[in-house]
Structure 1
Amino acid sequence: MADCPESKNVRALLALHHVGPKTARALDAADVSADDVRRKRVSYTELVDAEVHPGVAARIRRSHSLSWSFESSGADLERRSAQVRGLGDAERAWVAASSGDWEAHDPPESSDSADDAGSPVDDDAADGDEWPRRLPTVVTAETDGSGESTAAEAAWRAQSRPTPLTVLDCVDDDDATTLAEAGIVSVRSLTTANPDHVADVLELEAAVVRRWYDAARRHREQ
């Protein structure tokens, strides 16, 4: 079965959500059938073991409600916890355009590792603009006497809030949802992504992703 890339199983796998030609061939080579996926007889970890890219495996797992693993090891529990929180180091590096951008946002090893959609410390901080190192100095007072700290906190939150992708004219809500599958949830994170890699993992036309990327760069330069 694995020797025939156009086998019946490959065609059946291609009919599944989020399964492209490369993924279908990898699953076929590992003797995983489309029926295995539909009947949930395969887990996320088995997809990865079959050499399916972790990001694609995560999308297949969510779409078909697959188990994370059929084993109850501590390592798997850690992987599951990390997947719920965000993209892992390897996946973030895979979609990052500059080698240093993602490392600057990596959390310390003492916190939970991330593996599917952002940083375990704070999703907005990892996927959007950097958080300020200090609260801005604000001298505004409220009638209850707490105005200075309240205004400072509000200013801090406003400054650190990521810019949503939908501010770009060429990115609608559906496009933003699709990009979020690759961990791209803000204008800044789109500018640090590799358009070709993103197009590959999301199975989109490279020209479309490049247009989004260019629009994000122009927006950041304004």
Structure 2
Amino acid sequence: MMLPVVEKFVSINGEGAHAGELAVFVRFRGCNLNCSYCDTSWANSGNAPAEFETPEEIADWVSKTGVHNVTLTGGEPLLHKECAEVISLLMERGCRVEIETNGSIALDRLAEAEHRPVFTMDYKLPSSGMEEFMCRNNFRLLNCHDTVKFVSGSMEDLERAAEIIEQYRLTERCHVYISPVFGEIEPADIVEFMEERNMNGVRLQLQLHKFIWEPTRRGV
């Protein structure tokens, strides 16, 4: 039972409900989508350099950091069924485990597991080119600890995000964030849109790590 790990590091959470807090990141190789704005495309191909580690090795490394917030990310971490074992091991050791998932993979199995992680799930908007692959049934599995994130790069994206948020009553179910595609849309324009639509319960979120460090820097 081995998983391809392209990087692991300690930093702050750059986004989500625990933004600004220390976190351990484990990034797995591979993704089933190809978003136009992807900032981790280097990790997505099947031949990206990776170290193969067992769930126990990953959990042991996390424990040695002394940091309790853990983010499993990618690529798309849920392409690897072994992630469930990593989650169980980490949660048994008292970690808060968050899965960053792209919204295309059914969450049923993990949502119903004894060791349920926190989900930070994307909904891919039109500018991503990947909206057709979204698994909207996942919305019913989310709870008040989870997050749906809309990465928006245009007014069309914002209109679509507003439609999905209203249709599925997401603000009554989970955290909801709108983030700009870095360099493609002004955050002030998103705020203006939110104000015009009275988008109560929705938060604008900027990726903190891209303001603290150079935007393309890895390992942060």
Structure 2-normalised TM-score? Answer: 0.26
**Quick check: which one's strand share is greater?**
2
TM-score when normalising by structure 1: 0.26
Q: Which has the larger radius of gyration?
A: 1
Q: Which has the higher helix share?
A: 1
Greater RCO structure (CA 8 Å; 6+ sep): 2
